[in-house]
Structure 1
């Protein structure tokens, strides 16, 4: 007989169905579970906000230890089983900072028997009001003035591990973003992930870090007699092997006499020679390929005074192509003069520590670059790399949308006060979600006060009164001393593009979780299924007659 599922009904209209394979949660129970999961994820990184932020010690799957206060790096290492918590972490990975998302405040509305659809509708209206408020309090910035942009980037680096080298990190980030930015008929393209590669080299001092006007590769030449320094080189980029192409596994060769084997070797040499002659005819100085280079091809290149690099990663090859103006060719027969790159001013090989590095520098208008980071250990370099990525993201957002919002929780408190005022004007049941979202936006200033050890109730009340009395929407929390200060005087600003996107994502994720009213898990009883099964009992024993 098939085992029937057990159904348990409680007074709170929650239905829990359990059988041998699935675990299911419905109704209010599912929504409350999602709220708790979202709150748990936010609590993990709550203490990582602000200049007095605490560090988290993480143990990665390989046994390494990571010390960081970067929220994205922390959530990347967290393993969760709840589907709502997984969704929150995936959403958080797209953000640069934590924002109160309103999900935890939705529980109050649900307890008042407000339908989730009404809550979502009110959240949508609150989002429109929030975007208007951000537009009002934002300040335009002149991207052509480097000092103004560096101030904003410095406010981003100020809470990080690399704050002591903030001037250097900010200049590196801004220079890298300017290098890779392209303006195509008014359409800006800034791809820092593909074309601004960070090369972490242990050893030396952090002050030795720099942004190259070109590319660096962790490669050496294929032959010791090849030249290691060339000025104004002609560069050819290939995506094909410079060696004899072997036949497939079904290919069979039968030799009837000794000369046949010699002829096969001769054919291989002739093919390699033909390929090399086509390349040499274009008179290049450097040949770079993503595949291998045979010993015979190296011999011909050495005779022609050509330097060769082999087995270069595809991503590095694309960066070199963009920096030196060469075209990557998939077949040697298709090579032509226009494919040769001539924008590189200098190529040389340098040994750092125990490894060799190839430099392509002094490029004319390079649209790709390499950032060299030096430091005492790999752990320090990894943390500085994470901080630098945040700084480059801030610089990119400023170039795309040159508007700034006050930091230090000032924007969130302005939103909270405006939404609370708007809730009083709205009649009916929709005012409860407005109030809930207004309270949720106070998470940022409250957390900043908590992390610096300030008096939360007194400072939060003072900050709320300043915003409510229209004394200025730029008042926020000094995360170091725990005081209420004007962010205009302190110069703490954030890109409006990041703030708008964060609030949009936060409210959308809250609406997404509120729409869920059914959670079905097929792995919850896996542990029980692995246990040894008990022997089945006989259905019914015959009862003796009395």
Structure 2
């Protein structure tokens, strides 16, 4: 690639590989904005209660049918670097709050579209970026004035938050059931105002309908008992969690034992058996009648445990062990000889191996006292349906968790966007300069959310925007959003269409940051791949090496005397 025209001697200067492409200035910005907007357009039709689904088919023929924005973007094979930045916005939104991914992506695309119009008016991208940053900061302040406080004990509000997250995701018909599951699970694992949703274990099983789904106050794990002699069910279980292998300890160095007679062999086996029996006696003495081991358990130990009526499971994953520990209130023991019966053993009302969905058996640890880890058994007719239900339940669990932690909500239906747009226009008048135009563009960009809700519902977007602005300009109208079912503005708080404040703040902040980052790029340099000559040289070298290796191998065979 030629970056300088000529040297002193009149020769061009090449400092990059031939074939490297470069776009600069307005061209680079146009390409990046076009790519980002294309990503936004791909998920735009999924927004809202009446959003449509996407069917994604990969190269292996696997099919995903979903309405979830981040799932769609993850499944799409996208190469453009600016488009990947927008996908990162969706992933960050999902990681942080679990919902609002489509809103964040659509808003990013609209901010860039408005910015492109300002660039066409000869306004420098730096001025636009500064104005967008001012508008984003002001939006975060204004959102706090729109928010409404709630209490974690108010299950009615929490259920409506969960239902709003489920709306439009294919799970709306059974939204009441999933909302109840989400709220109950979150409140169960909440500790001192903090919700770790990793302690909610979702298990999917095809078969019965969704209404057969249930929350278990304990854990469900995909394990079966080690020995047929062990009981299938243990009531009033005292559970021991071990991170110790129950087997004969192996030496750390290579060693051999010389046995010269059957008597010595018998003595050796009896000694080994006595060591294993001693380990079982220690477990029995602790009072445990259920055992979970993160390590292996020898068959002989399993046999003895079965004879003692102890239900045992081996090779339990570390994550499952931690969840079981939180559910039963027990501690993971790392030394068999130091079991503290009072502190280490956990309890459960019942531990049972139960058949779920056809011939599959799973282990249920139920009726735990104040469990801080719970399981949700999700049922559905098909695996495709179950996958979508799991995504919907994940979103509702995350938003309920955020609401319990922050105790602040905002109305849905595009109400915050309309209110912020009106207030940002008033704020823009106080700024002046070219940044004022950028703040106004930011305010106008927010209209894309209620506009898209209206379009996806088959309503006239202009009429809906006019009606919404009219309500918000009146007294006490800040909570009015678009009811897509009747086609007119309504108080979203009263209607129960609500979402956590953090979801909206994260979406606005992430969208603004991504738009600013893309706007500040004015030079795209794409490195070229290897030239045709280099590829041919590499192929020739590889073939020569293969020929040399083959002859060497034949020589080696001759040396071996074949």
Which bin holds the TM-score, normalised by the shorter protein? 0.7 to 0.9
Mapped to 2, the partners of 1:282 and 1:256 lie a distance apart of 37
Matches within 5 A, 1:409-448: 409-448=414-453
Pairing partner for 1:368 from 370, 373, 378: 373
* 1:492 to 2:497 alignment: yes
Indicate whether 1:75 and 2:78 are aligned. Answer: no
Counterpart among 123, 128, 135 of residue 114 in structure 1: 123
Residue 179 of structure 2 corresponds to residue 170 of structure 1:
yes
CA distance in 2, matches of 1:327, 1:65: 42
Moved over 6 A (4+): 527-531
Q: Deviations over 1:243-278 (max 9, x none)?
A: 234457x72526363466666545543442343333
CA deviations on 1:500-524 (whole Å, 9 max, x unpaired) are 12111111222222333343333x5
The DSSP-based 3-state class of the residue aligned with 1:73 is helix
- Among 22, 37, 46, the alignment partner of 2:44 is 46
SS of residue paired to 1:381: helix
Single out whichever of 116-125 and 234-243 deviates more from structure 2.
116-125
Match of 1:251 in 2: 254
CA displacement 1:412-452 (0-9 Å, x = unmatched)? 11111222232233311111211221121111111111111
- Distance of 2:320 and 2:447 partners within structure 1: 45
Q: Hey, what does 1:160 align to over in structure 2?
A: 169
Q: Which residue of 1 aligns with 2:544?
A: none
Structure 1, residues 320-359: CA drift from partner, whole Å, max 9, x if none? 1011111112332343324533431111221122111111
CA offsets, 1:1-58, max 9 Å, x none?
A: xxxx24599xxxxxx9973474444444333333222212111110000111111001
Q: Does 1:329 align with 2:333?
A: yes
Closer, same or farther in 2 for the Cα pair 1:303/1:471, shift >3 Å? closer
Q: Which residue of 1 aligns with 2:389?
A: 384
What's 1:30 paired with? 28
Asked if structure 2 preserves the Cα contact closer than 8 Å seen for 1:453 and 1:482, the reply is no
Distance 2:334 2:43 in 1: 47
Residues 526 and 439 (structure 1 numbering): CA distance in 2 closer, same or farther, change over 3 Å? farther
Give the structure 2 partner of residue 86 of structure 1: 84
Q: Which residue of 2 aligns with 1:306?
A: 310
Q: Distance in 1 between matches of 2:151 and 2:380?
A: 33
Match of 1:291 among 286, 290, 295: 295
Kindly state the Cα deviation for residue 143 of structure 1 after the two structures are TM-superposed.
2.4
SS at match of 1:54: coil
Encode CA deviations 1:149-170: one digit per residue, 9 max, x unaligned: 2223222222221111111111
Distance in 2 of aligned mates of 1:312 and 1:61 = 34
TM-score by length of 2: 0.85
Whole-angstrom distance in 1 between the partners of 2:4 and 2:457: 47
| 2:96 corresponding residue in structure 1 | none
- Say if 1:153 and 1:170, in contact at 8 Å, map to a contact too: yes
Q: SS of the counterpart of 2:92?
A: coil
Give the SS at the match of 2:524: strand
Q: Does the 8 Å contact 2:157/2:496 carry over to 1? A: no
Counterpart residue number, 1:396 = 401
Bigger shift: residues 100-109 or 410-419: 100-109
Alignment partners' CA distance in 1, 2:269 and 2:114: 77
The equivalent residue for 1:280 is 284
Aligned to 1:149: 158
Secondary structure of the equivalent of 2:113?
coil
Cα gap change, 1:335 to 1:471, in 2 (>3 Å): closer
2:554 aligned partner: none
CA 306–504 in structure 1, closer or farther in 2 if over 3 Å, else same: same
Deviations 1:34-93 (A, max 9, x none): 322221211111000011111100114542111111111111211211222212212212
Is the 1:173–1:388 contact (alpha carbons within 8 Å) kept by the matching residues of 2? yes
Aligned residue among 208, 213, 230 for 2:212: 208
Structure 2 residues not aligned, in runs of 5+: 6-13, 94-98, 538-562
Match of 1:197 among 186, 197, 201: 201
Partners of 2:306 and 2:534 lie apart in 1 by: 64
CA distance in 1, matches of 2:366, 2:90: 37
Q: 2:233 pairs with 196, 216, 229, which one?
A: 229
Partner of 1:132 in structure 2? 141
User: How many aligned positions are there?
Assistant: 517
Segments of 5+ residues of structure 1 without an aligned counterpart are 10-15, 534-546
1:219 is aligned to 2:223: yes
Find the aligned partners of 1:515 and 1:334 in 2 and give their Cα distance.
62
Structural mapping, 1:346-361, within 5 Å: 346-352=350-356, 353-361=358-366
Q: Which residue of 2 aligns with 1:506?
A: 511
TM-score in terms of structure 1 length: 0.88
Is 1:467 the counterpart of 2:465? The answer is: no
More helix by share: 2
